[in-house]
Amino acid sequence: MPSSSFFEKCPDFVLKLKIKAADGQTQIRRVRLIRIADGEGEVSYKELVNLVVVSSFPETRTSESSPYNVSLTYHDVDGDSVTIASSDELVDACEQYVGQKVLRIHTNVKPNTMVAPATAAGRASNKRAMSVEAQRPGTDISPFTSPASPRASNKRTRMSSKKPHLPLHRFDGEGKNHVAVIVKEQRRCTYCKYEFAMAKLNGTHPLPTVARPSRKCSTCGDHLCKPHFEVFHQGPLPK
């Protein structure tokens, strides 16, 4: 499984991307692998796709990569042309070239004529609709509580790589109810993910390690390593 341990093993690993720009010119982009880490410190196929789309069509916003069909291929150690279509496959490709510390990827980006790019007017309309929905009595959507929070949907906390923040539900209830419990499943420490994302955003090196504890908060549901349990509940407010 892709994880921050690959960055620890090969902190200087590089991707060389062969990109055909919108004007028809071909360029080679040299990108450090750490640049496509997501907010949880993992090698991210999605981050790579966004980077390739923006490099091919500079006017595109990274959140609008869906209107494009993106193909990423490389030659494996047997000389076969292999397609990369997931984060696991991307890490597998990198691991084949750990010794050389470089992976060459051929990219192909074409506009998807079946999907119309989102317009500024459309995005504004969606925001207005969400705002009206949030004000209706009885609705589950609230401007103060994210519907994707672990307490509402029982899902793990996702860490944004663009605007890292800690979840507000860490302040729910009384402090005495936030106790550490040991569970069978190991997951990445939420506070470690926050530190990793902030370090990457600020260009800090070396990047901190993301622990995978079996300890979690009985109230928040977030997995937290022992050094970060208390600071998580007293940490900085979300930005």
Residues 84-140: tens digit of each pLDDT: 999 889 988 998 998 899 999 999 988 877 654 455 555 555 555 445 444 444 433
- Residues whose CB is less than 8 angstroms from the CB of residue 229 and which lie 6 or more positions away in sequence, other chains included: 180, 215, 217
Tokens of residue 26, six digits: 């071909």
**Which three-class secondary structure state does DSSP give residue 37?**
strand
- Global pTM reads 0.50
What's the Cα-to-Cα distance from 174 to each of 162, 171, 178, rounded to whole Å?
31, 8, 7
Q: Which CATH number fits domain 4-111: 3.65.10.10, 3.10.20.90, 2.60.200.20, 3.40.50.2300?
A: 3.10.20.90
All structural domains of the chain with their residue ranges? 4-111, 146-234
| DSSP output for 178-214 | --EEE-S-----HHHHHHHHHHHHTT-SSPPP----S
Angle between helical axes of 45-56 and 87-96 (0-180°, round to 10)? 90
Residues 205-230: tens digit of each pLDDT: 888 888 889 998 988 889 999 999 98
